[in-house]
Every structure is written in C-alpha cells, then in structure tokens.
Amino acid sequence: MEITKIYQPSEVDQAAREIQLGELIAFPTETVYGLGADVNNEKAVLRVFQAKNRPADNPLNVTVANSEMVKKYVNQINDWGQKLIQNFWPGPLTLIFKIKSGSLPKVVTGGLTTAAFRCPDNKVTLELIEKAGTPIVGPSANTSGKPSPTSAQHVFHDMEGKIAGIIDDGPTAVGMESTIIDLSGDTPVIVRPGAISTTEIEKVLGMPIKMKKQASAEKYKHYNPNANVMMVSDSDWSDAIKWASQQMNIGIMATTNIIKKVPENVITYDLGENINSASRKFFAGIRELDSKGVDTILVQQFPEIGLGEAYMNRLRKASADQMWQLK
C-alpha cells in the first residue's frame, strides 16, 4: 500500500515532481478535486483507472494550464472554442475538440478521435501543471460511481494508499463539476450541464445550444452513495418530514428554512440558503449522511435554471429519478 501524503499549496514543487516521476496526485479545482497523472505517461494513466476502479473505455479529460497547451493536440481551435476560452477559461468549462491523430495515448481518449480539455480556475493547480511541464489527466478523485470529492478529506477517504499525494487547498468553491460542451461536430452540444449555464454559453456564442439527451439507462453509474436517495417536491416537504420523524435511519438534505422544521430525531444536512450554497455542499452532504449509516436520504429539488441545471442533473443521477411519495 502506498503512503498518501497531504501537500500544502506551498509544497506544489514536490507534488509536480511526483507527477514527473509517474505518480498520481489529487489536485484542487474550483469545482471538485481531480486525480492527476502525466497525460503522456501511459503506465501512470492506467493507474488512474485502477485507483478509481474506473472502466478502461471511459475517456479521461486533459487538464491544461492555458490554451497554448491545447494546440499541441488540436489542429485548430474553432471559432466557438476561441470565444468560450476567451470568456470562461480559466473556469468550470470543459471543451471537446477533434485531436491530431496519435497526439494522445489511446488510454486517455478511449480510442476516440476527440478529447476533452479543461483549464481550471485554481492557481495551485495551474502552477502544478506548469511546474510538471505537462498537461495532466483530471477525472474526479473519487471511487467511480460515488459522490464527487469537494475536499481533500473526501479524496483521502477514497484514495488513501492508492495515490502518492493530495494537494489540500480547502473546500472547493463551486462544488459542481464543469459544464462539458462538445465542439467537435457541426454544432455545439452540451454533454453535461455544470457550473456554467446553458444561457451563459448561448449568450457568448450567439446561438441556441442543444443538450445531449441522456439515455434512460446510462452505461456508467454516477454519484451513488450506499443510501437510497429520493427527491422531494416543494409541496411534499410537510408530509415527508412527518414521515421521516416516524422512521429509523432517514436523512434529510435541504435548505435552512426546511431543516429548521425537522425534528431532532431525524439526521439532517443543511444546504444553506440558496442554490449557490446547495450546489457547493451537495456532494459533501451526500457523503456525510451516507457515513452516518442512513438508509434513505431525502433531498430538496431546485428549479432547473442557471446552477440549478447542474444540481438537478446530479440529483437525478444520484436518485435514479426516484421521487418520495407518501404511501
């Protein structure tokens, strides 16, 4: 078993050296913590799949320090890409481009002719990439299928003994993963909603953007805790709270105005006042309630506007679209 070291931001030089040596380092971003390895080191990248228990045919994104790094792998950044980079990088937006043949190992791309690129808004990680002298892969630093990590402690829980180190830059600011937009085809398509809304992207590109349709039974599971997650509609909270107070091992995750109505015998997690705090705390809340051994977690819904797009996308996946209903 490997000893997993916790690095402070001031120790980024040491972490960058580990990347150069083919080791795995978890790094902070504004969204969630990522798991980094030299994108050109196939053995290191394979260890990322092993550490996460991730299917080998599930491509990894490429995390860069600037748009110049992208040009090594992409023949030409198209007009859409240039506009989005200018407006949102560094930031929570991942862009998919067609790549030069053979420019990236197949283990990174899953054998595809495209790759996803992200430039995070985190000074420590940008410094890590620059000092390592190479882009790094950057999937979330959690066990595949489980809630994403928004703190170094979450990463340590999932990755202790599997990776060389974790750069601890505190809790992430946004808490929802980046928006992914595919720019490799005839028209831009949002593959995954995230911290940057569809409306913001449409405003920059000056055109309507389609969202990729999600299959009813997705190939890979996401955000699944051990507990059963159920969504609660606004009109059902009074009944849901009453029901929860009469059961054993029920957790409730909601905003402060709802939590204050919940009896003390029910385990709760306060999402704060609004969608911004709820998104930031969503994964931490799922992890905390799951660690307390609850059987069911009842979670508040939000309107699917702005950041609510990303929040509801993650909640729907975590709950498999299950709604709580009074039997």
Q: What is the pLDDT along the chain (327 residues), one digit of tens a residue?
A: 689 999 999 999 999 999 999 999 999 999 999 999 999 999 999 999 999 999 988 999 999 999 999 999 999 999 999 999 999 999 999 999 999 999 999 999 999 999 999 999 999 999 999 999 999 999 999 999 899 999 999 999 999 999 999 999 999 999 999 999 999 999 999 999 999 999 999 999 999 999 987 654 455 556 778 999 999 999 999 999 999 999 999 999 999 999 999 999 999 999 999 999 999 999 999 999 999 999 999 999 999 999 999 999 999 999 999 999 987
Of 157, 180, 211, the position where a domain reaches its end is 211
> Residue 112 burial (CB < 10 Å; 0-12/13-18/19+)?
middle
- Domain boundary pick from 211, 239, 268: 211
**Domain assignment present for 217:** no
The CATH code of the domain that includes 104 is 3.90.870.10
Q: Are residues 66 and 176 both part of a single domain?
A: yes
Distance in angstroms (rounded) separating the CA atoms of residues 286 and 309: 18
> Is residue 325 one of the residues assigned to a domain?
no
Token code pair at residue 276? 């911004």
**pTM of this prediction?**
0.94
State the residue range of the domain holding 78. Answer: 5-211
CA distances (Å), 304 to each of 5, 96, 197, 204, 276, in order?
39, 24, 10, 20, 13
87, part of any domain: yes
* Residue 63 and residue 168 share a domain: yes
Q: Are 238 and 205 in the same domain?
A: no
Name the DSSP class of 180: E
Do residues 204 and 273 share a domain? no
Does residue 303 share a domain with residue 256?
Answer: yes
Q: Where are the alpha helices (DSSP H) in 41-110?
A: 42-52, 67-70, 79-88, 106-109
75 lies in some domain: yes
Judge whether 223 lies within some domain. no
pLDDT in tens, 51-98: 999 998 899 999 999 999 999 999 999 999 999 999 999 999 999 999
* Terminal C-alpha separation, the chain: 48
Q: Are residues 175 and 290 in the same domain?
A: no
Q: How many CB atoms lie within 10 A of CB 263?
A: 11
> Same domain, yes or no, for 168 and 31?
yes
Do 124 and 271 fall into the same domain? no
Q: Are residues 169 and 240 in the same domain?
A: no
Tell me if 220 is assigned to some domain: no
On whether residue 196 sits in a domain, the answer given is yes
Give the C-alpha separation, 95 to 115, whole Å: 8
**CATH code where residue 281 lies:** 3.40.50.11030
**149 shares a domain with 21:** yes
| Final residue belonging to a domain, choices 185, 211, 237 | 211
| Residue 314: inside a domain | yes
Helix (H, G, I), strand (E, B) or coil at 98: strand
pLDDT digits (tens, 9 = 90+) for 265-309: 999 999 999 999 999 999 999 999 999 999 999 999 999 999 999
Our count of domains for the chain comes to: 2
Domain shared by 151 and 85, yes or no: yes
| 291 and 181 within one domain | no
